[in-house]
């Protein structure tokens, strides 16, 4: 039976290839910036035309702010490697 508190069962994370790791993170950042820009465009036009912003737009737009944190993690990861 699996015991989550068994220290001997824990393993170190596997090593990721540097190019693949940073390439995927960069692609994720670029994609989130594009989606965030499109969402900002729609939110601005909705508020400009006196429509209320749907809560789902705010939720998706807020999720696009996450790559800022990922970018900080990426910079921290690069500083540790060098």
What's the domain range around 29? Answer: 19-72
Question: Residue 50 falls within a domain, yes or no?
Answer: yes
Alpha-carbon span 80 to 58, nearest angstrom: 35
Report if residue 6 sits inside a domain.
no
Q: Report the C-alpha gap between 6 and 20 in whole angstroms.
A: 32
pLDDT tens column, 35-76: 888 888 988 999 999 999 888 877 777 777 666 666 666 677
Q: What's the whole-model pTM score?
A: 0.60
In a domain, 45, yes or no: yes
How many domains would you assign to the chain?
1
Residue 13 included in any domain: no
In a domain, 81, yes or no: no
pLDDT tens digit string along 28-37? 888 888 888 8
pLDDT at position 45: 94
User: What residues contact residue 25 under an 8 Å CB cut-off, 6+ apart?
Assistant: 70, 74
29 three-class SS: helix
């Amino acid at each position: 039976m699996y015991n989550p508190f068994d220290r001997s069962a824990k393993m170190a994370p596997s090593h990721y290839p540097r190019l693949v790791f940073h390439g995927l993170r960069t692609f994720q950042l670029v994609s989130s910036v594009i989606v965030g820009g499109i969402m900002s465009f729609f939110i601005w036009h909705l508020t400009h035309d006196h429509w209320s912003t749907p809560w789902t737009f705010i939720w998706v737009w807020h999720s696009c702010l996450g790559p800022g944190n990922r970018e900080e993690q990426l910079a921290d990861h690069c500083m540790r490697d060098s």
